[in-house]
Amino acid sequence: MKKVLVCIVGVFCLGAAVVLAADKPAAPAGRSPVLKTNSVKAAKMNARGKVVEISETAVKIERIIKGNAEIVEFALEYPARAVAVNDFVKIDYTVQEGKLTAVRVAKLGPPKATGKSTVKPAAEKPTVVTQ
C-alpha cells in the first residue's frame, strides 16, 4: 500500500512539473531586445535686459533680478545687427560646452514702470445754473 501511495504522489508531482513548465512561453529566437533611444535636447532659456556691450561674437546685458543687477555675457551664433548699446533685448539661449550661447536676440521696447505713482486727474464737475 505504501508503494502505491508513493507512486501516485510521484506521478502527481511529475504531472505538476510538466503543467508548470508549459505555462512559460519560449523566448522567440532571432529577436534581440529593442532599446529606446531618447534624444536629449538642450533646454532653451531666456533673459531680458539692457545691452551694455555688443560685438560680432558676444553681447553683454544687464538684467535685474529681485532688485539686484547682474551683467551676463552671451556668445552669439549670428551677429545681431539691429541691436545697439542701451537697447532692451530678450535673448533666447542655451548652454553649450559651459558657455551661454544666444540663439536669438530680439529688440524690445523700454520696460514698463511697475510702481503705482500715476495720478488720476480730477474730473471737473459740471456747474449747475439756477434761475
For the whole model, what pTM was predicted?
0.53
Spatial CB neighbours of 93, under 8 Å, sequence gap ≥ 6: 44, 45, 46, 47, 74, 100, 101, 102, 103
- List the chain pLDDT tens, one digit each, 131 residues: 889 999 999 998 888 888 777 666 666 666 666 667 777 777 788 999 999 999 999 999 999 888 899 999 999 988 888 889 999 999 999 998 889 999 999 998 766 666 554 445 555 656 566 65
The answer to whether domain 45-108 has CATH 2.40.50.140 is yes
Beta-bridged to residue 21, according to DSSP, are none
Q: CA neighbours within 13 Å on the CB side: how many for 60?
A: 6
Domain boundaries, the chain: 45-108
Would you say 32 and 55 are in contact if contact means Cβ atoms under 8 Å apart? no
Residue in 106, 109, 78 with CA at minimum distance from that of residue 92: 106
Place of cell 533646454: 43
